[in-house]
Amino acid sequence: MLTFYNRYLLIFNNILILLKIDLDMTKRNDFIWNAIQTATWFIFAGFCVQTGALLFNYIYSLYKPVATYNLYLGLNLSALYTRSIALYSFLFAILIGLSFFKAFVFYTVIKIFKKLNFIKPFSKDVHRFIAKTAYYTFSIGIVSLIANKIVEQLITKGFDVGGILGHWNDYVAFLMMAAILFVISLIFQKGIELQNENDLTV
């Protein structure tokens, strides 16, 4: 399904929180850390492919309306396209935008991994990236929630949205992910202060 990658967002972040990384990392921790980075790359690549496929299928459907019967992984918006091309384009724009920003969030996470320094883990760069990621994920959650409510209203008015609700019903996961990242950001901010104080005393 389209939400395949989204199911593991909370699990992914919980692993990051629970994982203990010592200055002298054991082989086990090193393996887990590398596995998390690899998984992040796969999720990022998955969302990139998804965004590209959605954009291509949308453009193609404007020239070949028959494509609206199976736009992406069984998504059928043919009835909505026939009734209102404007609404069809609006919902598809949200779908593409959310997919793009989900990919961007994981790109930011990859940059966080590259910036991490286990000798001095609390740095302003890492804190900045974590804070940005928290804002991005919060925005994704809010936009998904709004889109969800819009579609629910369209359904009550008799519009056939072809099951599009299932493609952005993960807003709770993103809002929780944003909350977790915000807490991590605060921890890093405090860590930077303590680290700077320690450097001054040394």
What digits encode the pLDDT tens for the residues 108-131? 888 888 877 766 767 788 888 888
Side-chain half-sphere of 132: how many Cα atoms within 13 Å? 16
Rounded CA-CA distance 95/89 in Å is: 10
Q: What confidence score (pLDDT) does residue 164 get?
A: 80
Long-range contact set of residues 120-128: C-beta below 8 Å, sequence gap at least 24 = 120/195, 121/21, 121/191, 122/188, 122/191, 122/192, 122/194, 122/195, 123/192, 124/192, 126/188, 127/185, 127/188, 127/189, 127/192
Which sign, positive or negative, has the C-alpha torsion 146, 150, 155, 159? negative
Q: Where are the alpha helices (DSSP H) in the chain?
A: 9-18, 27-63, 78-83, 85-115, 124-156, 171-201
pTM beyond 0.85: the answer is no
Q: What confidence score (pLDDT) does residue 20 get?
A: 47
Asked if residues 146 and 101 have their Cβ atoms less than 8 Å apart, the reply is no
State pLDDT tens for residues 10-27.
Answer: 455 455 444 444 444 466
Q: What confidence score (pLDDT) does residue 96 get?
A: 92
| Burial classification of residue 156, based on how many CB atoms lie within 10 Å of its CB (0-12 exposed, 13-18 middle, 19 or more buried) | exposed
Q: Using 70 as the pLDDT threshold, list the residues of the chain that sit under it.
A: 1-29, 118-119, 121, 162, 195, 197-202
One-letter amino acid at 12 equals F
Q: What confidence score (pLDDT) does residue 100 get?
A: 93
Q: What confidence score (pLDDT) does residue 201 get?
A: 60
